[in-house]
Amino acid sequence: MSVFPSFLLALLVAARASAPAPAGPVSLTPAVRDSLTQALVQGRAESAEWLKSSPSSYFAAVQRVDFGNSTALTVGRAADNSVRVDDPEMPEHAVMVVVEGDSFRVVASSPEVTFRANKLEYREAVLPPSAIQIGRWTVRLSHQRFPALIVFDPKSPRYAEYHGQDWYAPDMSYRFETAMTPNPKPDTTIIQSTRGNLRRAVRVGWFDLKVHGKAVRLEAHRLLEPGVDETSISVFFRDATTGRETYGVGRYVDPEKLPDGRWRIDFNDAYNPACAYSPHYNCPIPSRANTLTIPIKAGEKDPHYEH
């Protein structure tokens, strides 16, 4: 089926849900505005510190191998491994990882080898999408219904590429608190991704906002993938800054549910997918319905690491 009919179907589904009056930005006192601005600045400084030095940083990712049609991959130093880590500190044959439904069975390949998960030592374990440690390396067990192994090395040479992150100045006119219009018949839709995979998601509803005087409607999705919390929803979007001031694939914002049942959407928290920093990730691509004609000059700009 072509993208165009899918786009029409999305419009028809959205039209069935009556759109409320779009919500404007929240009204804040100067003290609250200053406090939120300080928190944003602090959070961005912590994000930069994580990126340039954390062993789980995007820059620590040095290799990705997809399972494809295989159900098992091996990790080790020897050339016959599916995932070869050519370093004397890595065992010749470390582990075999087998996909079992929504989980992974990890088995040590040599009697002298163990691996760590959740701070415990194992020779064999069945694990959800998560990570294991082998020596200094972390191996992420990525599922997304397109399983892969991603190797992280705290000695990755990519840390040397760090030149910071770039953000718009905090602007509370992009902060909203509103109800979500629920999808009357939550449908499974397809989210395209940067590695060409078609990822399944539920279109749970819509947010209607008035951004600088312009009404916009955004779809909210929950990815149907192992490890994704059933209460977790995301908004993947593009806007008039995309490919110019902001990353060309688009950006994400994660609505936060409030105690009164409404949701907070703060575009100051809009962030780039991991693919903006590393080629070793598989990132959702925003739908046409979430392609805005107006600029969202809030949140993260293009860091210019990946193109």
pLDDT for the residue 51: 97
For 158-215, the pLDDT digits (tens) are: 999 999 999 999 999 999 999 999 999 989 999 999 999 999 999 999 999 999 999 9
One DSSP character per residue, 176-196 reads EEE--EEEEEEEEEEEEBTTS
For residues 47 and 171, state if they share a domain: yes
Beta-carbon contacts of 181 under 8 Å, excluding residues fewer than 6 positions away, are 17, 18, 19, 20, 205, 206, 207, 208
pLDDT for the residue 219: 97
Looking at the structure of the chain, the number of domains it has is: 2
Is 303 among the domain residues? Answer: no
For 237-250, letters b (16+ CB in 10 Å) and e give: bbbebbeeebbebb
d(CA 133, CA 117): 7
Phi and psi torsions of 17, nearest 5°:
-90, 115
Q: What is the DSSP letter of 241?
A: T
Q: Is 221 exposed, middle or buried (0-12, 13-18, 19+ CB in 10 A)?
A: buried
One DSSP character per residue, 12-71 reads HHHHHSPPPPPB-PPP--HHHHHHHHHHHHHHHHHHHHHHHH-TTSGGGEEEEEE-TT-S
For residues 100 and 10, state if they share a domain: no
For residues 200 and 285, state if they share a domain: yes
Is 104 among the domain residues? Answer: yes
- Residue linked to tokens 């590429």: 161
For residues 193 and 139, state if they share a domain: no
Q: Which domain holds residue 213?
A: 3-52+164-290
For residues 125 and 28, state if they share a domain: no
Q: What is the CATH number of the domain that holds 91?
A: 2.60.200.20
For residues 115 and 252, state if they share a domain: no
d(CA 58, CA 53): 10
- Sign of the torsion angle spanned by Cα atoms 227, 230, 232, 233: positive
pTM of this prediction?
A: 0.90
pLDDT for the residue 3: 43
Is 261 among the domain residues? Answer: yes
d(CA 145, CA 169): 37
Is 255 among the domain residues? Answer: yes
- Residues in the chain with pLDDT values less than 70: 1-18, 307
